[in-house]
Amino acid sequence: MPNIYDITMTVEESMQVWKNYEQKKPRISNVQNHDEGKPHESLLTMNTHTGTHVDAPLHMLAGGATIETITLERLVGPARVLDLTHVVDCITKDDLVPFAIQRGERLLFKTASSLSEEFLMDFPFLREDGAKYLADIGVGLIASDALGIERAQAEYPTHRTLMRNDVIIVEGVRLKDVEAGNYTLVIAPLKLTGIDAAPARAFLMA
């Protein structure tokens, strides 16, 4: 068997969430337990964009495609981790050109966000020109280690450029313990339907 590298954020009440907003925190409560003479069961309440998750186009495009349209075939297969830990503020086209990115590639961006358990208010994000460059190449998937692939661009041009060009967006992967290079990627979202996103388990194999 290959080595497995879990790149998923643990879903727990103390986890980092977008801009530390209270309403973005997951809630996990006990609904029955052995003290009552019953099996132990829990109730999970979470925003679909919590932790490691897959965005569907509907998230940023009115009338956009929903999460069940993103098949496992798109989410499983060869992938490459790019070391972008040196990037400050934002990832631009100029940062990406040296990687000689090819059509159809699945890419994981390792940035300063992988090194922090706290939400970084100034997390490095993919700037619009970088998104346009990747959409023009026709990459298959981009996984960001930040909880967002963009931070504060008016009208969300990074999300929208990628979504309009059929590039899958994954957010919140954890790459601290993973070196740059080639792997087999598995992104396994909950099988939700008709909505904007799904939380996922994600891992690399090598």
Burial class of residue 152 (count of CB atoms within 10 Å of its CB; 0-12, 13-18, 19+): exposed
Pairing of strands 90-91, 27-32: unpaired
| Number of amino acids touching a copy of itself (CB under 8 A) | 52
Q: Using CA atoms, how far apart are residues 101 and 81, in angstroms rounded to an integer?
A: 11
Specify whether the CB–CB gap between 129 and 164 falls below 8 A: no
3-state secondary structure of 159: helix
CB nearer to a copy of itself: give 24 or 93: 24
Of the residues 34, 40, 49, 59, only one is catalytic, namely 59
**Among the candidate windows 64-72, 85-93, 116-124, 126-134, which touches a copy of itself by CB under 8 A?**
64-72
From candidates 25, 59, 106, 151, binder to a copy of itself by CB under 8 A: 59
With the C-alpha atoms ordered 165, 148, 47, 80, is the resulting torsion angle positive or negative? Answer: positive
Distance of closest approach, residue 135 Cβ to a copy of itself, in angstroms: 19
Angle at 66 between CA 197 and CA 92, to 5 degrees: 65
From candidates 16, 25, 52, 125, binder to a copy of itself by CB under 8 A: 52
Closest CA to 127 of 167, 87, 164: 87
Annotation says 59 is catalytic: yes
| Binders of a copy of itself in range 159-178 (CB under 8 A) | none
- Is 149 an interacting residue with respect to a copy of itself (CB under 8 A)? no
- Provide the binding-site residues for a copy of itself, judged by CB under 8 A: 1, 4, 6, 8-12, 23, 28, 30-31, 34, 39-49, 51-52, 58-60, 62, 64, 68, 72-73, 76-77, 156, 186, 188-197, 199-201, 203
